[in-house]
Structure formats: C-alpha cells, structure tokens
Structure 1
C-alpha cells in the first residue's frame, strides 16, 4: 500500500515534540528529587541516625535548619515543580502515543517493522507503565531516573536510527509481526522499570551499609524495601509476556525458516535473558533472595535485554537483523 507522507511527517513532529517535553519534564522532576520534601526528609532522617550513631543527641530540630538554609529551592516549590513535571510526562506520553499511531496509519501496518519504530514503541510502553507505577507506589520523585534512559534512547533513535516510513521486508509481512513483536515490545518496555529500580537499589543499599558512600544521593532515594518491591512486581508482570513472546517467536521461526530454534544471535541472547529473569523470580519465590543479590541478577537481565536490542541489530548479522537503519 502507498505510504501517506503527511501522516508520516506528523508522526515525526509528534515524536520530536514528545522528546522535547520529556526533557523539560526530566529537568522539573530532577529538581523535585533534589530539593523536594521527600528528599529533605530522607536526608534529615539519615543525618539523625548519624548523630545518634556517633553518640550525640538525636536532635531532629537542628537538621531542618541546615537543610532549609542552603538558599536553594524551597521544598514546597520543588513539590509544585515536580507536579508540573508529572503533568508534562502525561502530555509527553500522549504525544508519544500519537507519534506511534500516526506512523502505523502512514504505513498501514503495525508500527514496529524496523528498529526506529521498535524503540519508539518500547519507550512508549516504558513511560506508560511508569505512570501506573507512580500511581501504585507513590514514587513520582524517582521519575527523573526513568526518564533519563528513555530520553537518551529516544534521542539516539530519532537522530542515528531514524528510518523513513516504508513497507516492511517480505519476511516480516506476517500476522506474527503483530503477535510476537508486540509481546517483545511490552516486555522490554516494562523491563526498563525494574532495571532502573534495581540500579537505584544498589545505590541505596550501599549507602545503608556505609553512610559515607553516596552520602548526598543515597538518602534521597526511597527505602530499599520499596525499590525491591517495585523491581519485583514489575518483573512479575513483564516475565510472562516475555515468555509468550519467545514462544511465539519459535512458532514463527518454524513457519518462516522450517525450525523452531536455530541459536541465532538474537535467539541465544533472548534465551539467556529469559534464564536470568527466571532465576531472579525463582530465587525470590523459593530461596527468599532479596537485597543486593536479587538486584544484581535483575540488573544483568535488563543489561542483556538492551544488549540484545542494539548488538544484534547493529553489529551482528543474523536472521533477526531487521534494523532497517538508513
């Protein structure tokens, strides 16, 4: 079918605008993270524990004066800026969705037939999932840490990996493109959240073990228990979808190439990532692994997911190399 150039152009405009709004929201949310009430209260509690541990009187009243007299943004104003940032995130997600829908209408197919479209969809899922998470766990002040990798991915995607609207390769002209790839997109997008949460957990736990480490950053994070729950519950949500996507890929491979599994580079790394995430969930459910060991395993799983996305499509040559980069 012919490509609708006007819709494609509007999709590009919406994508670029979404990135700009995300960047502005990132600035606002980092201000809240640095100077908001939550960060100040966490710093006060940490300082109080330090005073008590040193044998001094845990006088809570002395700490707020030190924090308040820094001459920086007042916590109440920082909270308002954070709410503005959250509103901008919602606006950015709506524009992001518009870019994805317009791209699909422009090419009259599912809008994830090349790497540019795939990353556009993955980052949209990540941001939409994060809106659900901040509603569930009340961790809005951490939004900047999720937005940062999303903005970086979208910037690289729009500048280095951009692909003009075009029909997909004949090998991808199948209904399995909708089923298999959409499952991979949903899983990969949601996996970004536990990946970020696990990295932040490592910072927080290092601070809790030794207050000298990350002394300015660590106390402004939520408790390690909250970060651990965010990572675990989002992984529980994404893992079955990821499993479904792997199984659908095997069925599609049998129909397209006459075999269910051939140890293609993408298949191999996806299988390793699946094993890592399965080990994470299994260790949590049976051995009761929590804390640093679980966070490290989850971080490795997400690193494999990112590696599989970029390495297979841009470096190796395999049956799954459909980057479509111009």
Structure 2
C-alpha cells in the first residue's frame, strides 16, 4: 500500500484547521502577556526597586519578605525578594517580582495569558496528533511537520516548568511570539502534503533520533532566550551599580525580571541538562545513517553542523567552569551555540544540498 493511498485526507484537513485555530489562540495569549507587562509596569514596585537594588548591593543575605498593601486605590502585592550572588560575585541583587510587576491587575492578565497558552497548546497538540494519524506515522517527516512539532514541544516544556512550580512566566511573551513566528513560517512557506515521506526516513529511528532532536532544540531555545534576557538585565544592574540612571522602560521591564545571576544560572542549568541528550541525538543519527546509507559518518552538511553545534555547546559548558569565562563571555558563547543549532534547523535543510535536504 502506498503512502498516498494510506493518507486520510479528512484527518489531514482537521490537522490544518487545528493548527490555524491554535495560532489564533496563541495571538490572544500574546496580547494577554502584553497586557500583563503593561499593567504591571504601572506598579510602584518597578519604580522603587532601583533604590532597593542599590541598598542590597551593600548588604547580602536580605530576608525574604512577602506583604500586601494598597496604593492609590490599587492593591499591590510585594513579591518575595530572593537575593542571589551575581555571576561575577561583585554584587547581590534581588529577583524582580515577575512580569506582573506586583500588581493584582497585571497578575490577572498573566493568569489569563497562561490559561490561553494551555488552551492553545492543547489545540496545537491535537493538530500534530491528527497529522500523525492521517498517515499513520511519526509527525515529523518533513520541515513543516518538524516545525509544528517543535513549537508544540517548546510550549510543553515551558508549561512543564510552570507546573513544576518554577517562576518562568517572564518567558511567556517571547515564547508566544516565537511560536507564532514558527507556525507562520511553517504554514506559509514550509507546508508539505501529509503523504510525502523520504524513503530514508521510513525507519523506527525516525521516532528516536528526530524526537530527541526536537526536544533538545526546544530546551536550547529556552536557554537562549533566558541568556538574551540575562545580558539585558546584567547591563542594567551594572549601570545601577555604577551610579547610572536607566530609562523608564528599562526600570519598568528589567526590574521585574529575575536577577542577572538567577537568569544566568537558569540558562546554564537547562543547557547543561540537555547537552547529554544532544550527544545521544548525534550518536543515534550516526547509527541510523549506517542503516540507511551504509556509513556512520559521511560529512553530510547536517552531520557537520550537528557536530559543530555539539562543539559550540561543549565550549560553552567548559567555559562556565573555567576561570575568566563566566557571565557575559560565556553567555555570548551560548548564543553562538544556539545560532549553530538554528542554522542546522533551517539553513541546512533549506539552503544546503545534502542527504538531509528534504524540506
């Protein structure tokens, strides 16, 4: 039986409709996250925390305190201030109160955004499952399927951190924007009929190798976004420590992020945790290549860039435990490593000729 004959066109169309529906709900979640930051920025927590940061510079180990008060008729929650050691060891600053900035109204928009994200993810997952059922195989046989699955796993990883009690809601806005971009590119430029599958991919290794590559990429993305936020927050803290006065936008946004040290630690931990699985991904790919093409390594562009990505992340992790390569230098190296992964994701499949050019 051919793949075309086995295709359930009704399920394939249902999958397409679900993906578009998920995009609509992600847009609502994106707007709700914007509302969270906008209304949260009206809190005096953001405006006064710069003074708090200056005070904490001189005294480490400030206690964790949670209180509530009313200001100007608006209830304001004082979030716990967790003091952590900066990457350079030169200053101690508290974690910001989060995207809501301490306001009840901002927090309400944030909760709405999370609820919409959960709903969008459920619809999104339904679209991926329907795509798989339409051809009775793993739903990542081409770049379109890889992309919709990647963004689904990405949102799932984010919600998993939230479910585990991690305060990562500050990732919600860039996450929603990225998912919309990814799905937009997938549906507009990468769409492929559900009955198309390269013969070399018709193997049980598709479930092992590609699924781990997708999961690794999702976690690497979370680490990369956190690293970008760390660089902004670290520059902000350095300006405060040097007696500078940041602008109103920086004060209202960056003060509500976790401290630079917390962001740096989170990015390092997720990258370090997923690196062994990326190593396994490359090994599994080599074994699959041996079965499919009769050799484990042939310097195919995908193989080369997978290895380059591995080396880049290995250098980043090594730099983290090497004197003089903590903080911003290591962060830049981490972003270079993710850029390698991103090129391996899009560039190699689309722009480079090779055995993996099945986009």
1:40 CA drift (Å): 5.1
- The CA deviation at 1:39 is 7.2
Distance 1:38 1:137 in 2: 25
Q: How far apart, in 1, do the equivalents of 2:308 and 2:224 lie?
A: 16
Q: Is 1:188 paired with 2:217? A: yes
Give 4+ residue runs of structure 1 displaced > 6 Å after superposition: 50-53
- The reply to whether residue 108 of structure 1 matches residue 136 of structure 2 is yes
Query: How many angstroms apart in 2 are the aligned matches of 1:242 and 1:184?
Result: 7
Show the counterpart of 1:94. 122
Given candidates 138, 145, 149, the residue that maps to 1:121 is 149
Cα 1:43–1:193 shift into 2, 3 Å: farther
Following the alignment from structure 1 to structure 2, what is the Cα–Cα distance between the partners of residues 310 and 322?
11
- Higher helix proportion: 1
Distance 1:284 1:47 in 2: 31
Can you give the 5+ residue segments of structure 1 that lack an aligned partner in the other structure? 54-63
Residues 42 and 219 in structure 1, CA contact (< 8 A), matched pair in contact too:
yes
Contact in 2 for aligned 1:39/1:221 (Cα 8 Å): no
The aligned residue for residue 7 of structure 1 is 11
The CA deviation at 1:34 is 3.2
Query: Which of these residues, 274, 298, 304, is aligned with residue 262 of structure 1?
Result: 298
Which residue of 164, 176, 179 maps to 2:208? Answer: 179
Q: Counterpart of 1:162?
A: 191
Normalized against structure 1, the TM-score is what?
0.87
CA distance in 2 between counterparts of 1:39 and 1:143 reads 20
Q: Which whole-Å deviations, capped at 9, do the CAs of 1:85-141 have from their partners, x for residues lacking one?
A: 000111111111111111000011000000000011111111111112234421213
Q: Partners of 1:287 and 1:250 in 2: how far apart?
A: 34
Task: State the secondary structure of the residue aligned to 1:215.
Answer: helix
In the TM superposition, residue 287 of structure 1 has moved relative to its aligned partner by: 4.2
| Partner of residue 94, structure 2 | none
- Return closer, same or farther for 1:225/1:249 CA change in 2, 3 Å cut-off: same
How many residues get paired? 308
CA-CA distance at 1:204 after TM superposition: 0.7
Number of the residue aligned with 1:59: none
Q: 1:225 aligns with which of 252, 261, 283?
A: 261
Please identify, of 113-122 and 298-307, the stretch whose mean Cα deviation from structure 2 is larger. 298-307
Q: CA deviation at 1:144?
A: 0.5
TM-score by length of 2: 0.79
CA distance in structure 2 between the aligned counterparts of 1:100 and 1:215, rounded to whole angstroms: 39
Alpha-carbon spacing, 1:38–1:301, altered in 2? closer, same or farther (3 Å): farther
* Alignment partner of 1:25 out of 14, 26, 29: 29
The aligned runs of 1:233-272 (5 Å cut-off) are: 233-272=269-308
Q: Distance in 1 between matches of 2:352 and 2:13?
A: 31
Q: Which has the higher strand share?
A: 2
Q: How does 1:313-324 map to 2 (within 5 A)?
A: 313-323=349-359
Deviation readout 1:66-88 (Å, 9 max, x if unpaired): x99xxxx9932121111000001
Q: Secondary structure at the match of 1:220?
A: coil
- Once the two structures are TM-superposed, the CA of residue 52 in structure 1 deviates from its matched residue by 11
CA deviations on 1:207-257 (whole Å, 9 max, x unpaired) are 111243773443232211221122122212321221111001111112222
Q: Aligned to 1:137, what secondary structure does the other structure show?
A: coil
**Aligned match for 2:318, one of 260, 269, 282:** 282
Counterpart secondary structure, 2:250: coil
